Amino acid sequence: MRYSIFLVLFIVVCSTSLLSVTLIWKYYHKSINMRTLTLDIRQLMNCPHRPNIIQRELYRVILRSCCNATGEMILTNQNTKLGQKIHYETNQKLFKTVDKNLDSMLPKALPWSKGLLGHCAVEGSGGILQNSSCGAEIDSADFIIRLNLSPVTNSKDVGNKTHLMTINPSQISGYYNLEKVPQLLANRVAAYGNASLLLPAFSYQICTRPSLDVYHALRPLRPNQKVVFFNPNFMLNLGKKWKGQGLKEQRLSSGLILVSVAMELCKEVHIYGFWPFSLDLNHNPFPHHYYDNVGPKKGIHSMPDEFLLLLKLHTQGVLQLHLGRC
């Protein structure tokens, strides 16, 4: 297995009162020694996690200054006006003009724009959640973000409470003729209660129609479940920010996007199911997701790079990464 990733070298000294972690990151092209990598990470995860309020607030300021999830994460009537051109994230030459129909679909404002959320959990759907018994711990959070219609039937490992769920428009292709047969999708999203459903309607032109179809299909059947759309300017700016920090990939994954959102909006952030490798910390194999073994499209995301970025944030005390059993 070959990856183009950041080499991470851990020098870890743990005691009851002190955690000293030095990270040296170098860009390289070589095979990963998974046994060495998992051993280093297992030793690191055995150390007590020390939140760093200064680092946490620094990243909050940085993310708000560049991207402003507080006011710009989703399209609203406050940041998007009738007649305005919405330029697509991946091709700024293409745009959609906000007409009365689209304007009526947008919420008046972001629900979290008035203050910080509390303890947030972002669940990344990785196979490492299998047999983790993390469900109760995830459900104890004040605000829970899940990704890509991930199932919550295995509540022992992943919990079932949800406040925000992302949907990849490609997942809608299996629901034929939503206008006439919306009930199947309505039944599926009912598992998430009244969680808001978040779609990247304006990342690519091909995403627009299925995203708008989801809104129209669910509105009469589930009026209390909001369907909202990512602001493409927010997505573009966030991508530029992390790429400016050395992350090299075509597009950010929805996981890293939502972790970044949580870092700005939440007082503390805990993340689960973020592990891009096929072996766990004890070198046992497991599937890519806790519910299937379908990996990401090649050439779009760089999950190992993103994971090592999250690991760096963990060691800095900005967020807490949970791996293995809870």
- Evaluate if residue 295 carries a pLDDT over 80: no
pLDDT of residue 4: 34
- Evaluate if residue 190 carries a pLDDT over 70: yes
pLDDT of residue 186: 96
Render pLDDT for 254-270 as a digit per residue (tens, 0 to 9). 999 999 999 999 999 99
- Evaluate if residue 180 carries a pLDDT over 50: yes
The whole-angstrom separation of Cα 113 and Cα 111 is 6
The DSSP H or E segment spanning 4 is strand 2-14
- Evaluate if residue 11 carries a pLDDT over 70: no
The whole-angstrom separation of Cα 98 and Cα 316 is 42
Mean pLDDT of 291-310: 80
Q: Which two tokens stand for residue 97?
A: 């003009």
2 beta partners: 31
**Banded model confidence at residue 8, pLDDT cuts 50, 70, 90:** very low
3-state secondary structure of 258: helix
Mean pLDDT of 175-182: 88
Q: Which two tokens stand for residue 7?
A: 């080499």
289 is catalytic: no
pLDDT of residue 45: 86
Across the chain, mean pLDDT equals: 87
- State how far Cα 161 lies from the chain centre: 16
Considering only residues 304 and 296, tell me which one the structure prediction assigns the higher pLDDT.
304
Of 18-22, 41-45, 111-115, 209-213, least confident by mean pLDDT is 18-22
CB 12 within 8 A of CB 21: yes
- Evaluate if residue 3 carries a pLDDT over 90: no
User: Can you say whether the dihedral through the CA atoms of 307, 20, 46, 119 is positive or negative?
Assistant: negative
CB 228 within 8 A of CB 234: no
- Residue 88 burial (CB < 10 Å; 0-12/13-18/19+)? buried
Name the residue ranges covered by the structural domains of the chain. 2-322
Backbone angles phi, psi at 228, to 5 degrees: -125, 160
Report the percentage of the chain scoring pLDDT > 90. Answer: 66
Q: Which of 117, 35, 40, 14 is nearest to 311 (CA)?
A: 40
The whole-angstrom separation of Cα 97 and Cα 84 is 6
List of residues 6+ apart from 23 with CB closer than 8 A: 8, 9, 10, 312, 315
3-state secondary structure of 20: strand
Render pLDDT for 42-59 as a digit per residue (tens, 0 to 9). 888 888 899 999 999 999
**Banded model confidence at residue 112, pLDDT cuts 50, 70, 90:** confident
List of residues 6+ apart from 46 with CB closer than 8 A: 14
pLDDT of residue 301: 64
3-state secondary structure of 262: helix
CATH fit for domain 2-322, picks 3.90.1480.20, 3.30.300.30, 3.40.605.10, 3.40.50.720: 3.90.1480.20
Q: Is the pTM of this model over 0.85?
A: yes
Backbone angles phi, psi at 191, to 5 degrees: -65, -20
Render pLDDT for 58-67 as a digit per residue (tens, 0 to 9). 999 999 999 9
pLDDT of residue 31: 55
Render pLDDT for 140-160 as a digit per residue (tens, 0 to 9). 999 999 999 999 998 999 999
List of residues 6+ apart from 202 with CB closer than 8 A: 75, 86, 87, 88, 89, 96, 208, 229, 230, 231, 232
The whole-angstrom separation of Cα 251 and Cα 260 is 14
Annotated active-site residue in 270, 288, 289, 301? 301
Residues, the chain? 326
Q: What is the dihedral of CA 242, 11, 55, 129, to 10 degrees?
A: 70
Residue type, 83: G
